Amino acid sequence: MSTSQAVSGEPAGPVPAAPPTSLSPSRANDFMQCPLLYRFRVIDKLPEKPSPAATRGTLVHAVLERLFDAPAAERTAPRAKALVPGQWDRLLAGRPELGGLFADDAGGEQLARWLGEAEALVERWFGLEDPTRLEPAERELFVEAELESGLRLRGVIDRVDVAPTGEVRIVDYKTGKAPRPEYGEGALFQMKFYALVVWKLKNVLPRRLQLVYLGSGDVITYDPVPADLERVERKLLALWDAIRLATETGEWRPRPTKLCGWCDHQAFCPEFGGVPPVYPLSVSPVAPADVPQGRMGSDRV
C-alpha cells in the first residue's frame, strides 16, 4: 500500500448516493457529534455554505504549504504575508462560490479585513516555529491505510517532518484557539488517527504529534506509544460498526448539542421541525435494540 499527494478538485456534477467505504478524522468526528449530520454529509451529500472562518483556514494552510517552496533563507514573515492575496485568487479560481462570502462588500472593506486577519495568523506562526530550520519531508500529504478488518482510514496531513535519525513528527496547523485542557483529548483524536495510519503504512511509530494553534499562539505536543494507537484502532472499529449498521438500517439519530446552532442542515433536522430527505439507500430493518449509536456518544477518544 502506498501514499500519494492529495489532488484537489470538485466533482463535475451530483455524486450518486453510495454506502461509505472509508473513514477520515472529520467524518469520524461528525458521527460522534451527530449521526444524522454524518448522514447529511456522507450519504445525502447536502451542500453547505462556505464560512469565512473555514475558508480563512484553507487560505492560511495554502500559504504555509507554499512558503516551503522557497529556499530556507527566504522563508520570512513578509514573504509569507505577500503570498496571501495570490493564494486567495487561486482558491477563488478553483471554487468561484467562495466569492459569495463577500457578495455585499461593494467597497472591499470586508475582504481587506478578512485578508488582513489571514496575514496576522500567518505572521503569528513565525513566533511558534522557525521555517528556516525546517525541511518538511511531506506537505499536505494524502495517506490511506486498510486495517485487517477491511476498514480504510484516510486523511490529509498538513506536514510531516523526518529527523536525520528517522524519527517522524506529524504537524497540524489550526487557525482557531487551543481548546481548554478538559477538551484536549478530543483535539488529539485527529492526530492519533493520522499516527495510526502512518504506523500501519510505514511500520514506524511517529515520535511526536504537534498541534500549532495560530489563533491563540499555542503549540501542543504529544508523544504517542503503541497502546495509544491500539486504543484508537479499537475505537474506530467500534465506530465503523455503528456507521455500517446505521447505513444498512437507515437509522441515523440526531444528537442535539450546542453545536446545532452552527449546522447548515436545520431545515432537514427533526430537532428543528424538519424532515430529512428520502433515504437514498436500500435498508434492512433490525430490532431497535441492535442499533448502537447511543453508545458511541459517551465513548470519545
Whether residue 20 contacts residue 43, with contact meaning beta carbons closer than 8 Å, is answered with: yes
CA dihedral in degrees (89, 117, 61, 219; nearest 10)?
170
**What is the structure's pLDDT at 81?**
98
Distance CA(30)–CA(22), nearest Å, equals 14
Tell me the pLDDT band of 284, cut-offs 50, 70 and 90.
confident
pLDDT at 16: 74
Mean pLDDT of 148-159: 96
Does residue 3 or residue 179 have the better pLDDT? Answer: 179
Average pLDDT of the chain? 90
Across residues 49-62, what is the average pLDDT?
96
Q: How far is CA 130 from the centre of its chain?
A: 24
pLDDT, one tens digit per residue, over 203-250 is 999 999 999 999 999 999 999 999 999 999 999 999 999 999 999 999
Q: What value does the mean pLDDT take over residues 164-176?
A: 96
Q: Which of 133, 138, 127, 193 is nearest to 169 (CA)?
A: 138
Asked if residue 3 has pLDDT above 50, the reply is: no
Across 143-157, average pLDDT: 95
List, in order of start, the domains of the chain with CATH numbers: 20-44+136-254+267-289 (3.90.320.10), 52-132 (no CATH)
- Of the pLDDT bands very low, low, confident and very high (cuts 50, 70, 90), residue 288 is low
Distance CA 301, CA 289 (A): 24
**Measured CA angle at 269 (ends 58, 95), to 5 deg:** 25
For residue 295, what pLDDT is reported?
A: 38
